[in-house]
Structure 1
């Protein structure tokens, strides 16, 4: 068990005082003289809508899930006054037709979970200040996406996305470098405010520095210190390094590669002593827009008692679209995969295959095959279809786990952004 680090304390202290700094700077910049009404009337509105039909056939459920949902997200950004700008958006999710799925709050427990509850809630509401040189300060409820969303993401696949309450700083004063620092005290999760799991209270310090000045790639170094208020034994600190890029091999042919390593241990009031590692290795080739990749991601186990976790990630993007591994099993997870993607007649196509195994021991966790096709009609309208099938391969241990049973999932969606 460790006490909260001085890094988090310093970040929290600085960002906690930042609104006062902003207020003083704004006042000195003449916000009192600026017409606030102009900031509002000269702002810009936005509307993002998505209809999706999701079908789930899960061997662990009595009935299939058939979720027909429509999400509408209405946003408004004010014009800038004295380097200050405000933004607000509201999400509304409604069911189109019968509620034939388990949204986690509608009581349809005989059906598989499709975590798209029909609710209305405040998605983002923040104040952004850009009066410091090459620096943006944001205070309030905001969307966060860092690197590939493996550790901090918005879970944009779900109808109700994940956003964060807190303060962040983004600085680009160093050449080819973006530094993101922040203090987060709550995650507004995909389950909505109507669910007991809708909020994840925490004291989290984030620090991510990305350098893009290399000829054939970019490198990121990061630190995520997550102290969970109601789950202290899940509090962790993670430090990592990521390198990703591409390099030309010949005309129209590029090599693709990603290398990443992270270490995770106990943090704050965690009574457990944790020591677990993560790595991601990926290599591929791009031939005139057709990409083939081979990769392996490992979320390590600590002597079969606990495993590497990423609770603030966009988890749907990793370890299979059937979402069998939203929480890493105690024995850890090794995900070996191959993917093929390209564009045909304007349609983006992708096929991916995963083989899942444990880190500790030699358990076969099964496999998944998936296909996806998306098409953009124009800048406003897009549509897509996706199908994924998970085969548990007869795995019989941990009977309460999702990866103990076969599942098939299919999606059709249409999206419009104005």
Structure 2
């Protein structure tokens, strides 16, 4: 714990030192001699996020988990580096502390909560903007679209970050292009960390074009993840106002997954040939909203694994109980069909309340266990208490049926047990 505090303290010193180098009246003698302002337009930021999480899973032989964790984030945004217009930087560190540690991995006799005590430099990157083109290098958050394929996993106390070399271009009106290479992944737990050689980096290409403002946006994407798979896909989305405050939204997405273009940390490439699609329609009026979404994960088709999204913000999708997480990250061998129906109400004075019902079924019959995986009910209430402080309470109740497999023989079956989780959280940002 002492080491963590010292590490975070070092980050705080970086942020504090930034004020001394900000080009104000009290610049350092070294800067006076050089005639250069090292950094300017410095904006520190802070987040303090305590959260209680409870986990009860049947038939595991483990005690219910009770985790009170605290995320402390401290960072600094530097608007101008070396007095170069357009050259900026971000430095950020996060400490996760376990105040109540009755959970695995802190104590193995309890159920798992994936918020182990940890301290990490989460962001350290520079960006250079010239016209409508930005170049980025370093470790940072990468959130593409709605996090379905690549996201920050910011729900967990230690978020996911990537080491990237990227170009973002908006030169052509209504067209946004992202091209990036990833040389490292820092996952929500250290076991998920990975590194790739520069000539074997995962490649990200994401192209968005706004055809009609709000009504139609189309996108094409290629996520070539070294050692994992190649994913090529298209998506269309938008919303249409029907008058009297009524809005209808829609989304359609399809992707194909094949063998990865390159391997680095594996002896041989996995053999993959599968697909995925997602369809969603929604409506909102006077603060009320409702959505229906169908998601299809293709089966392995006799090859190594079914469709998977290992770099996504998985908690956002497929149920908050995270029972589907293993399949979504590693592939449902016999595929997975998911229905999600959600509804709620949002009002600045009252907050946001939402309920969702989800069902999960295998696409193909799983040997010995059939197709019915399980179902889930999710509940949420969120409220902004002040300008900087927000409150959240949510719960997930998963009702297990036959479960699912990630290998052909169903050697291990996931999702058979009932799972109950709930959370209480405060989030203060400065």
Normalising by the smaller structure, the TM-score range is 0.7 to 0.9
Contact 1:339-1:353 at 8 Å conserved across structures = yes
Structure 2: runs of 5 or more not aligned: 1-32
The counterpart of 2:163, out of the listed 162, 165, 181, is 165
Output the CA distance in 1 between the equivalents of 2:346 and 2:94.
Answer: 32
> Is the alpha carbon distance of 1:50 and 1:399 closer, same or farther for their aligned partners in structure 2, counting shifts above 3 Å?
farther
- Structural RMSD (CA): 1.9
Runs of 5+ unmatched residues, structure 1: 1-31, 229-234
Considering Cα pairs closer than 8 Å and 6+ residues apart, tell me whether 1 or 2 has the greater RCO: 1
Give distance in 1, aligned partners of 2:71 and 2:161: 16
Q: Deviations over 1:329-367 (max 9, x none)?
A: 211111111000212542101100100011222611100
Tell me, yes or no, if the aligned pair for 2:404 and 2:413 is still in contact at 8 Å: no
Cross-structure match for 1:308: 307
Tell me, what secondary structure is at the counterpart of 2:415?
helix
1:392 aligned to 2:390? no
CA distance in 2, matches of 1:159, 1:129: 29
* Corresponding position: 1:356 with 2:356: no
Change (3 A) 1:128 1:247: same
Query: What residue number does 2:42 align with?
Result: 43
Q: 2:282 aligns to what SS in structure 1?
A: strand
1:207 and 2:205 matched: yes
Q: Does 1:63 align with 2:67?
A: no
Does structure 1 conserve the Cα–Cα contact (< 8 Å) formed by 2:246 and 2:285? yes
What TM-score do the two structures reach when normalised by structure 1?
0.84
- The equivalent residue for 1:274 is 272
Kept in 1: contact 2:404–2:415 (CA 8 A): no
2:139 and 2:231 mapped to 1: Cα distance?
A: 23
**Corresponding residue pairs, total:** 370
Matches within 5 A, 1:245-284: 245-267=238-260, 268-269=262-263, 270-284=268-282
Partner secondary structure for residue 316 of structure 1: helix
Correspondences of 1:228-243 after superposition (within 5 Å)? 228=227, 235-243=228-236
Which range is displaced more, 395-404 or 303-312?
395-404
What pairs up with 1:14-413 in 2 under 5 angstroms? 35-37=36-38, 39=39, 42-59=41-58, 60-80=60-80, 81-82=83-84, 83-97=86-100, 99-103=101-105, 106=106, 108-130=107-129, 132-191=130-189, 195=190, 197-202=191-196, 203-215=201-213, 216-228=215-227, 235-267=228-260, 268-269=262-263, 270-303=268-301, 305=303, 306-328=305-327, 329-344=332-347, 345-361=349-365, 363-395=371-403, 398=410, 400-413=412-425
Q: 1:330 to 1:34 in 2, by over 3 A?
A: farther
Instruction: Name the stretch that deviates more: 399-408 or 63-72.
Output: 399-408
Aligned equivalents of 2:126, 2:183: Cα separation in 1: 16
Deviation sequence 1:187-218 (CA, Å, 0-9, x none) = 10001xxx4x1412242000101112414121
Contact 2:148–2:314 at 8 Å: present in 1 too? yes
TM-score (norm 2): 0.82
